[in-house]
Chain A
């Protein structure tokens, strides 16, 4: 199977080709957690996690809420 390299939160990781955002979140053990995701500078709404497929070179930011002032 072909493998793609994507950048998640500044770290390069490899996944099978055409993995969905939803599957990626599952891989990261974040399913059901309150997160938000940006792909190449654009917000990916939760409603489209299942349908959006990742491609080689994608840059993702996955964020959570933490304590801050």
Chain B
């Protein structure tokens, strides 16, 4: 089946995007990423530790840009300015790579997005030639505005980052899916495989997750479960589910020819 996810003109076979944080070591990171079959993986940009062990491998040696589409994020940024500076550094770090994940947070307790700062940063980044995949609230009006600015994917939360609370407001996600032309990717809040399937069944184009995999008891097994869940949810969406029929049950087996029946 030719069912590719297309972001900024590039096509991907996997609709699961994964983060690379919170793993116990690089080996677990790599094994989980491989089990997820994700092609787009997020990374963070942080200050190098002065005097850090020069022999320590770097994340980019474990997950080489030749093999994966790296998506640098702005996690931890609380202003448009910091987010823009971070992604300029990311572009330099990754030799001119322009596909980025923008997120500007509102407060450290909820990690809820600050959409005013997000919109401001998105305008600057798009003007500078970045291809911006944007983390945002599940507000359909803001989602449209971010699309109008030129973002290449809209990534609403399903619930708070790292909460694992699942899809709390499927109605808003559906409103966004109906109104936005660019890919809609649920980013944040997925806790287990069924959450990922629900997102895909709603018609999301993909799901991005980190803690749901890294925070599982067995991250590699969960990565594989998420791969299957995203695929199953996508297939179910494409297949088109049966209509719900409240109060009008319909048996699956023939109603005629039942033994002992007086009705034939």
B21: CB under 8 A from chain A? yes
Measured in the bound complex, the distance between the Cα atoms of B19 and A62 in whole Å is: 22
B42, A62: Cβ atoms under 8 Å?
no
Chain A residues within 8 Å of B29, by CB: 67
Is the Cβ of A9 less than 8 Å from the Cβ of B59?
Answer: no
Using CB atoms, name the residue of chain A closest to B23: A67
Least distance between B29 CB and chain A CB atoms (Å):
6
Q: List residues 41-65 of chain B with CB under 8 A from any CB of chain A.
A: 42-48, 50-52, 54, 58-60
A46-69 interface bits toward B, Cβ cutoff 8 Å, 1 = contact, 0 = none: 100000000000000111111111
Among A10, A13, A41, A67, the residue within 8 A (CB) of B85 is A41
Per the bound structure, the CA–CA distance linking A22 and B205 in Å amounts to 44
Q: What per-residue 1/0 map shows which CB atoms of A10-40 lie under 8 Å from chain B?
A: 1101000000000000001110011111100
Q: Do A67 and B43 touch (CB < 8 A)?
A: yes
Nearest CB of chain B from residue A38's CB, rounded to whole Å: 6
A65 touches B60 (CB 8 A): yes
User: Cβ of B93 and Cβ of A62 under 8 Å apart?
Assistant: no
- Against A, the Cβ 8 Å flags (1 = close, 0 = not) of B1-33 are 000000000000000000111110000010000
Contacts of A68 in B (CB 8 A): 19-21, 42-44, 73, 75, 210
User: At the interface, yes or no: A43 with Cβ under 8 Å from chain B?
Assistant: yes
Q: Which of A34, A41, A62, A69 contacts B73 (CB 8 A)?
A: A69
Q: B22 contacts A67, CB within 8 Å?
A: yes
A36 pairs with B210, CB closer than 8 A: no
A9-B50, A63-B47, A63-B48 given; A69·B22 CB < 8 A: yes
User: Beyond A35-B93, A64-B46, A67-B21: 7 further Cβ-contacts under 8 Å?
Assistant: A28-B50, A29-B51, A34-B93, A36-B92, A37-B92, A68-B21, A69-B19
